[in-house]
Every structure is written in C-alpha cells, then in structure tokens.
Chain A
Amino acid sequence: MLTLECPYCSIQADETELHAGGEAHLKRETVGSLDNDFEDYLFMRENPKGVHFERWRHVAGCGKWFHAARCTMTLEVFGTYSAQTLAPPKDLREKISTKRPGWTWRAFS
C-alpha cells in the first residue's frame, strides 16, 4: 500500500486515508483563454514513466490538499510538500536528482 506523509499532520498516511488528485502545478485557465490552452489545462496530462508530481488530499485526516513527488515506475515516494506553492521545493528536486540523474518534468529538472 502506498504511504505518504501529510506535510500538515506530519503523519504517515495510508493510501486509504488519502485521495489522489491528479497532476500537480496545473495553470488554471479562465475566461478569455485560447482553446488550445483550455485543452492543455483540462485534458493534456503529464503521464511519465518515472518521476511525477501530483496533488493528494488527506481526506480521512486533516482534509487538506498537498503535493507529492513519486516514481510511477517503482512506486518510490521522493517526498511531499505544501499545496501553497507553484513549484516543487529546491531541496526535493535535488534529492530526486541524486536518485534519478537527468530527470525532467515539464519545465522542472
């Protein structure tokens, strides 16, 4: 079973306590956006075999949303971080680089 640490409660939460919320750091489009941008925002998805960033919610705990960095090929969890950010924190990105040299995900690396 997948276990993620909720960055707010600082407890190891089992997958059954959590809700998966899909791709992280999406840029929300709104009135006046182009069709292409809406398509990207609503449907186009990063779907890497490897390093991935996602949103999760601690539904059966504090109820808050947070971010997680995982490997979809091994199910290894690199870390979790707050929802109040537009990019993965630097120390987490460095940690991933030591484990998966050369990784990229959208504009991040």
Chain B
Amino acid sequence: MKRYSVFAIAREAMRQHAGWPRAWASPTPKAKYDVVIVGAGGHGLATAYYLGKNFGITNVAVIEKGWLGGGNTGRNTTIIRSNYLQDPSAAIYEKSRSLYETMSQDLNYNVMFSPRGVIMLAQTHHEVRGYQRTAHANALQGVKTEFISPARVKQLVPIMNIDGPRYPVLGGLWQARGGTARHDAVAWGYARACSDMGMDIIQQCEVTNVLTDGGKVTGVETSKGKILCDKLGGVVAGHSSALAEMAGFQLPMESVALQALVSEPIKPCMDVVVMANTVHGYMSQSDKGEMVIGGGTDGYNNYTQRGSFHHIEETVRALIETFPMISRLKMLRQWGGIVDVTGDRSPILTKTPVEGMFMNCGWGTGGFKAIPGSGWAMAELMANGHSPLTEEFSMNRFRAGKFIDESVAAGVAH
C-alpha cells in the first residue's frame, strides 16, 4: 500500500495525479475463506480489519450486495458520543469513541474525526434528572461528561433560543470529546486497510442463503456462486432478520426507516452537535456549511429506504422553536436508511444457534459512533469465541430478561 502523506500529495501534484493506486482491489471470490463477513458497512469492514490486525486472521472475504458503505454507514448524520447510561453500553461506546481519536493515523486515512463536543439538551424537568443521573453514571464509568447550565449552553451555542415558550432549555449533558467524522471515509479507510492485508472485498454480490451441515455453518450461497467458510459473521443492519431467516433462526428485531436532511450551506454558525430528545430533533453543521438534521423513525416496518415526509416536517418544526434562525433555510436534500431496532434498543453481538455463525446487528439508529469498538469486539468474539465487550449483548438476554435498556438514554435517533 502506498502511504498517503503530504509528500505523496506534493509528488502527485507534480505529475497530474497519475500515480495514485486504487485504494482497494475488486477480486473475484475464492472458493473458500477462513472467515466470511456479510455486509461491507462500517461494522463489517471494522470486524474484518480487527480480525487481521489483532488476531492475524487475513484469509477473509467481506461480501456486499451493493457498494461498500452504501447502507446506513453512508446515510447517517455521523454523531459520535459515548454518554450512555448502562455499564455495558458505556464500555463498548467509549472504546469506540477512543478508537476514533486515533483512527486517521491508524488507517493512514483521513476520517476527519472532529471532537467538537455534543450537547444533549434537557428541556423538561424529567430530562434534567435523567441527564444528571447519566452524568453521575458516566463519572463512575470513566466517561468524561458533565451536566451544564442553560447559561453555558447559550455560551456554547449562541444561535439557540434557550427560553422557548414550550420547551425552555433547562441544562444539558455535555460531552466535550464527542463529535462527528466523515462517514464514507470510515468505510473507505477500513476497506483500504483490509484490502492491503490481503482480504477480499467483494461488492455487488448478494448472499442468498446460509449453508449449514449438522448445525454448523459451511458457507454461503451468493449471486456470484457458492463461497465456503469456517466462520461466518452477519453484519447487515436492516437486513439482519432476513439473513437470520436464511440460517433458520429469528431475531428480536424490526426494520424501520430513519430519515435525515441537510439545508443549503451557510456560513459557520454552530460548532458543536446539539441533540434535543424531547422534541425529537438534532442538528450539527457540516464542514461544507450545511445544517445536518435528523429526527425520529417511522413507526412501521419498511425496507424501502424511504420514509414518510411528515416526520421531516415534525423534526424541522420542533427545531425551529429552539433555533429560530433556521426557519428561513431551504432544504437541500433528504434521504432514509433502514435501521434494525431491537426489543431493548441495544445492539446484539452474539453467537447464534448455528455453530460458527455470529451476528453483529441491532445498532439501529445509533451505530455509526460504534463502528470501531463494535468491529474490535466482534473480531474478538469471532476469533476467541468470547469477548468481555460483547458478553452482555448476547441475543439470549431477551429470554433471560437481562435487558440493556437504553431507550431512555437514547430516546431520539442518532
């Protein structure tokens, strides 16, 4: 792999940029791999990367039905934070956030991690108590957050109207090292590093069946033929139920549409991420100047990557009260992704009833922030059969009643 550096840019500038190699190869699939990962989103690619980096397993294929990063990884609003309530969540999300800090250097790929800070607004007394509790929990978990006053919120976000008539700002949960990153770059960076380790990333190849023999996985049937493997990792987000069905089991999961939108670009006006969970809206400003806005999910199962327009209306209506200046902005574009929501709103990283098959799913509306930590943990689970980070996220927790209830901490989609 040719390393990217300021010298490489200078060198290429002198020769019309003719010397850049392809970032990753597009090989034809081999007959058999040690590990096959289904889904080349961030989580699938990160899983493959850490299998190679941490465990030396490089005879790996990542199989993607569309193009890499074309699922939710390329459709999200890129908020990164780790201020969750429950200990298992704090552990995996904070591992993830800390890996983001050094990801660009680690991958030699600029993922534009921007730890600009994330505020979650408290706009009801209930939320004030909830976030104070989260701040205390975070202190015990070693996650740096603090509960801040309305005056501090106003200081951080001057464009905010903190004494709105219906939902005044009563404070906020502030994580100074939360922020955003470039979503496509995360997928591309991992893909380039995986390809460099000799892994095969096979795009435009749909997995249509899971092959088993005596309860053990032996491979997959794909649109490019049969591909055998010793271990299989299903990392397909909104399509997890479909993949599980191919393998003969069911997941506690439903797939729904989540939408986002961006405004026309404007001059820099807000340099932190703001989430307003009571009114179901959140906003940040991209480097291009667009206001990036997201809201709630649709209420019904959907695989179309299109959501209902009234959700966009509700989100924008809610945000206008808190950010009056955006009322005159034009919407530039809007899109949707299919997110995989579990019964307790927490992810599933698990062994399955099929020996040798693992699932990493259920990140729902908030798994971009989790990509490196999830890949790290999933690689450990697949290589060793267990990982301290995934223990509590097993699919059996629903039968045991051991939920990881984050629906309060993550009441809005992000």
Q: Which residues of A contact B (CB under 8 A)?
A: 1-2, 15-16, 19-20, 22, 35-36, 38-39, 42-45, 47-49, 52, 54, 70, 72-75
CA distance A75 to B305 in the complex (A): 11
Additional pairs, 6, CB under 8 Å, beyond known A22-B254, A47-B253: A1-B309, A1-B310, A42-B343, A45-B254, A49-B303, A73-B304
The reply to whether the CB of B7 lies closer than 8 angstroms to some CB of chain A is: no
A31 to chain B, nearest CB (A): 16
B401 to chain A, nearest CB (A): 8
Contact of A15 with B308 at beta-carbon distance under 8 Å, contacts A42-B398, A54-B301 already known? yes
The reply to whether the CB of B241 lies closer than 8 angstroms to some CB of chain A is: yes
Q: Smallest CB-CB separation from A75: which chain B residue?
A: B304
CA distance A62 to B302 in the complex (A): 26
Q: Smallest CB-CB separation from B314: which chain A residue?
A: A16
Q: In residues 17-43 of chain B, which contact A (Cβ within 8 Å)?
A: none
Q: Are A44 and B309 in contact (CB under 8 A)?
A: no
Q: Are B301 and A52 in contact (CB under 8 A)?
A: yes
List residues of chain A with CB within 8 A of the CB of B242: 47-49
List residues of chain B with CB within 8 A of the CB of A16: 310
The reply to whether the CB of B324 lies closer than 8 angstroms to some CB of chain A is: no
B64 to chain A, nearest CB (A): 17
Q: Are B399 and A35 in contact (CB under 8 A)?
A: yes
The reply to whether the CB of B58 lies closer than 8 angstroms to some CB of chain A is: no
Q: Smallest CB-CB separation from B255: which chain A residue?
A: A47
Name the one of B252, B300, B343, B399 contacting A2, with C-beta atoms under 8 angstroms.
Answer: B300
The reply to whether the CB of B53 lies closer than 8 angstroms to some CB of chain A is: no
Q: Among B250, B299, B304, which residue has the most Cβ atoms of chain A within 10 A?
A: B299
Q: Are B302 and A72 in contact (CB under 8 A)?
A: yes
Contact of A20 with B308 at beta-carbon distance under 8 Å, contacts A43-B252, A43-B398 already known? no
Q: Are B399 and A72 in contact (CB under 8 A)?
A: no
List residues of chain B with CB within 8 A of the CB of A48: 241-242, 301
Q: Are A72 and B252 in contact (CB under 8 A)?
A: no
The reply to whether the CB of B251 lies closer than 8 angstroms to some CB of chain A is: yes
CA distance A105 to B124 in the complex (A): 43
Q: Are B300 and A54 in contact (CB under 8 A)?
A: yes
Q: Smallest CB-CB separation from B396: which chain A residue?
A: A39
List residues of chain A with CB within 8 A of the CB of B303: 49, 72-73
Contact of A75 with B398 at beta-carbon distance under 8 Å, contacts A47-B251, A47-B253 already known? no
The 3 A-B residue pairs with the shortest CB-CB distance, nearest first, are A20-B299, A43-B252, A47-B241
Q: Among A1, A20, A44, A47, which residue has the most Cβ atoms of chain B within 10 A?
A: A47
Q: Are B241 and A15 in contact (CB under 8 A)?
A: no
Q: Smallest CB-CB separation from B241: which chain A residue?
A: A47
Q: Smallest CB-CB separation from B304: which chain A residue?
A: A75
Report 30 cross-chain contacts, Cβ distance below 8 Å, ordered by A residue. Answer: A2-B308, A15-B308, A16-B310, A22-B254, A35-B399, A35-B400, A39-B252, A42-B343, A42-B398, A43-B252, A43-B343, A43-B398, A44-B251, A44-B398, A45-B250, A45-B251, A45-B252, A45-B253, A45-B343, A47-B241, A47-B242, A47-B251, A47-B301, A48-B242, A49-B239, A54-B300, A54-B301, A72-B301, A74-B304, A75-B306
A57 to chain B, nearest CB (A): 11
Q: Smallest CB-CB separation from B400: which chain A residue?
A: A35
List residues of chain B with CB within 8 A of the CB of A73: 303-304
B33 to chain A, nearest CB (A): 26
Q: In residues 321-371 of chain B, which contact A (Cβ within 8 Å)?
A: 342-343
B100 to chain A, nearest CB (A): 30
List residues of chain A with CB within 8 A of the CB of B255: 47, 49, 72
Q: Are B398 and A15 in contact (CB under 8 A)?
A: no
Name the one of B254, B308, B400 contacting A47, with C-beta atoms under 8 angstroms.
Answer: B254
Q: Could you give, for residues 397-410 of chain B, a 1 whenever the CB lies within 8 Å of some chain A CB and a 0 otherwise?
A: 01110000000000
A8 to chain B, nearest CB (A): 20
List residues of chain A with CB within 8 A of the CB of B306: 75
List residues of chain B with CB within 8 A of the CB of A75: 302, 304, 306
Q: In residues 242-279 of chain B, which contact A (Cβ within 8 Å)?
A: 242, 250-255
CA distance A22 to B254 in the complex (A): 9
A34 to chain B, nearest CB (A): 10
Q: Smallest CB-CB separation from B313: which chain A residue?
A: A16
CA distance A74 to B252 in the complex (A): 23
CA distance A52 to B254 in the complex (A): 12
CA distance A98 to B292 in the complex (A): 44
